[in-house]
Structure 1
Amino acid sequence: MRYGAGIGGALLASLLTLSACAEREMPLAARIANALPAASVTARGETEPVGTANADAADDPAIWRNAADPAASLIVGTDKKAGLYVYGLDGKRRDFLDAGRVNNVDLKDGVMIRGAPGVLVVASDRNDPAQAKLALFRLDTAAAKLIALGTLDGGAGEAYGICLGRDAAGLSAFIVLKDGTINQVMIDAAGAAPTGRIVRTMKLGSQAEGCAVDDRTGRLYVAEEDVGLWRFGASPTAPVEPVKVAAADGRQIVADAEGVALVPEGDEGGYVIVSSQGDNAYTLYSLPDERYVGRFRIVDGTVGGAQETDGIEFMAGDFGPEFPGGLFIAQDGPNGAQAQNFKLVAWADIVAALGLE
């Protein structure tokens, strides 16, 4: 289903937003009761808490997989009040870089950085709420440290979401502003200082944040918090009109719709996952047909569960015996007496819980 800037589209968006606002006022038990069933999985690991205590601080993770030594893979996570952390798969802190108010984060391997291939990390920088920035870093994978490369213009407004995509045109960062504006920024980090230019602007009707790019099919997925999940073309020359994938209808997705992650399988298959923050669940849609598949929750086990999740991420491949089938990471809101952190889940456990095999 499509709707653009017409009266009908605006009315539908307004009605969905009003419904989502009313939904959030329900007690959690009522929201869970109204939603479709969710399978239960437990996390196999967790990161150390972020440094900002007693606040909504941890937000979004990104994963670098070490193909040569999967156990030495790294996780980059944001403390949106303070900066960026680097963690090992054991959850222990390897590095912290004071970058201020960085909200979401993504990374790409094999990017030319100052004349050599490396891992480029990009975070949405909202230190100036009136002017969005993209904060760029190189991940030194041997030392597990971040090296700041500078910032690029992300457009007028407050930076929220960020995701990276790569195609024949080059490397794009999609920065999602708080008001639902999405700016596509072409990045070149090969020179002494990175450069970027905004090549396309898209717009959703209200607050949006999470996003993910499927490089295989050229699709950009964006979560509009009170409305649902949308799809755009990721090419700089693609149309700017959104296509509705799923509504935050209180059944499949309970507002807020927050983090978005892709689970690629084969040439175009797999899943797109959305954090159904309103009822502490995660909703899967199949690819490429975007059909509803099921939902799951991360419940208490050897480590605590995850609730009120903002950012999520998935990376396929071998991560050692602790994380068979791939690694799924979810930000955890309430984390007992500790500051917020990130929970680590084996994809094989999600597959088993939802009967995806």
Structure 2
Amino acid sequence: MTRLPLLALLLLTACAASEEPAPAPSTLATATVTASAETIAVATKNADAADDPAIWRNPADPAASLIIGTDKKAGLYVYGLDGKIRDFNNAGRVNNVDLATYNGRVIVAASDRADNANAHIALFSLDTATAKLTPLGRVPAGAGEAYGICLYQQVTPTGTDLYAFVVLKDGTINQVALDLSAAAPTGKIVRTMKLPSQSEGCVVDARTSRLYVAEEDAGLWRFEARPDGITAPIRIAAADGKQIVADAEGLAIAAEGPNNDGYLVVSSQGDNAYAVYKLSDDSYAGRFRIAAGTFGATEETDGIEIATGDFGAKYPAGIMVAQDGQNAPNAQNFKLASWADIKKALNLL
């Protein structure tokens, strides 16, 4: 028989010991849907680059809505629903993104990782007619590496306040009050919360003032979003290998109605699926995958976003945008799926 040299045997043993087995897929029933469209791939090839999307709905012409997507190595893309690139801003190492219509402007906020020791928020204005992004400035968001971000607006007797929740890589969550009244934006940390380990995905349901955060190896948590709210989290679901297979990544809210109707969706990255929970009582509602069809499947999804409402013929009840971590032979991109198809697959109609 062939004998390997001692050095080769040692190298093989070391490699085998360092490799972690892939998580087993969930044993729970998992429905499937297919994507209706996909975006042009990001320019950064052969890297984990595309990460997180946000959706702006055009109320006058829903089919002309826009998607903002991050290339966390390079900057921000603006896409049409046809997946074509409308704009690119070389904002650098921006990881997650969110947007809000605030005081008549569409404000885009991204977690800025240019300085791993000090988090920042990169702010932009989106011209919805031209699909162009204009930088407004950077706002400090605390010590640590910026990871996740989501926006929250609170109506007060004197107006509307805009906040950004910045999730640091170590699980710290800073609530930053943003002031966009001057030429250069400013911010102030008004509250800090903490999860025990690495966290990233977050989303706010403005209807109930609830903040949801995904702790990657632990699961899904809920906080109060109001700046005077308690800071203790409430666990919704564990990364138990069934409902959620770690890592728990991107989060999205499919709001339906004025109250707390609708669903919370989390990327179950470990088995290329998405888990769904009822917002009304945090109960589990099912899981699904975006499988290969006219367009490819989604795998290893980081960021997701859902917007309900009419988005044209392909998306009559809403749209889901999901980062695709494996888009060979091209670089990573984002897939678009019909929310109506997802609800039908999960018998949520």
TM-score under structure 1 length normalisation: 0.90
SS for the counterpart of 1:273 is strand
Match of 2:197? Answer: 206
SS for the counterpart of 1:278 is helix
The superposition leaves residues 110-167 of structure 1 with CA deviations (integer Å, 9 ceiling, x where unpaired) of x13xxxx110000000000000000000001111110000000110000000000111
SS for the counterpart of 1:55 is coil
Tell me, in whole angstroms, the C-alpha distance in 2 between the residues paired with 1:71 and 1:62. 16
1:339 aligns to 2:336 (yes or no): no
The structural deviation recorded for 1:27 is 3.5
The structural deviation recorded for 1:26 is 3.4
Tell me, in whole angstroms, the C-alpha distance in 2 between the residues paired with 1:129 and 1:195. 20
Tell me, in whole angstroms, the C-alpha distance in 1 between the residues paired with 2:37 and 2:52. 16
SS for the counterpart of 1:350 is helix
Tell me, in whole angstroms, the C-alpha distance in 2 between the residues paired with 1:94 and 1:291. 39
Match of 2:165? Answer: 174
Aligned partner letter, 1:186: A
**Residues 95-134 of structure 1 mapped to structure 2, 5 A cutoff:** 95-109=87-101, 111-112=102-103, 117-134=104-121
The structural deviation recorded for 1:268 is 1.1
Tell me, in whole angstroms, the C-alpha distance in 2 between the residues paired with 1:78 and 1:27. 27
The percent of aligned pairs where both chains have the same amino acid is 64
The structural deviation recorded for 1:246 is 0.4
Match of 1:239 among 230, 234, 244: 230
The structural deviation recorded for 1:35 is 3.4
Match of 2:60? Answer: 68
Match of 1:13? Answer: none
Tell me how large the CA RMSD over aligned residues is. 1.0
SS for the counterpart of 1:343 is strand
Match of 2:272? Answer: 280
Match of 1:147? Answer: 134
- Alignment length, in residue pairs? 326
Match of 1:187? Answer: 178
SS for the counterpart of 1:168 is strand
The structural deviation recorded for 1:260 is 0.4
Aligned partner letter, 1:126: R
Structure 2 runs not aligned, ≥5 long: 1-18
The superposition leaves residues 58-115 of structure 1 with CA deviations (integer Å, 9 ceiling, x where unpaired) of 0000000000011110000000000000000000001100011000000001x13xxx
The structural deviation recorded for 1:287 is 1.2
Tell me, in whole angstroms, the C-alpha distance in 2 between the residues paired with 1:144 and 1:190. 23
Tell me, in whole angstroms, the C-alpha distance in 1 between the residues paired with 2:124 and 2:339. 28
The structural deviation recorded for 1:194 is 1.2
Match of 2:207 among 206, 216, 220: 216
The superposition leaves residues 216-246 of structure 1 with CA deviations (integer Å, 9 ceiling, x where unpaired) of 0010000000000000000000111111010
Structure 1 outlier segments of 4+, above 4 Å:
none
Tell me, in whole angstroms, the C-alpha distance in 2 between the residues paired with 1:76 and 1:63. 6
The superposition leaves residues 306-325 of structure 1 with CA deviations (integer Å, 9 ceiling, x where unpaired) of 00000000011111001121
Aligned partner letter, 2:44: T
SS for the counterpart of 1:108 is strand
Match of 2:148? Answer: 161
Aligned partner letter, 1:121: V
CA contact (8 A) 1:35 1:254 kept: no
Tell me, in whole angstroms, the C-alpha distance in 1 between the residues paired with 2:323 and 2:287. 17
**Residues 208-357 of structure 1 mapped to structure 2, 5 A cutoff:** 208-266=199-257, 267-357=259-349
The structural deviation recorded for 1:190 is 2.5
Tell me, in whole angstroms, the C-alpha distance in 1 between the residues paired with 2:133 and 2:22. 41
The structural deviation recorded for 1:25 is 3.5
Match of 1:58? Answer: 50
Match of 1:77 among 62, 69, 75: 69
The structural deviation recorded for 1:191 is 2.1
Larger mean Cα displacement after TM superposition, 316-325 or 251-260: 316-325
Aligned partner letter, 2:333: N
Structure 1 runs not aligned, ≥5 long: 1-23
SS for the counterpart of 2:229 is coil
Q: Please identify the structure whose Cα radius of gyration is greater.
A: 2
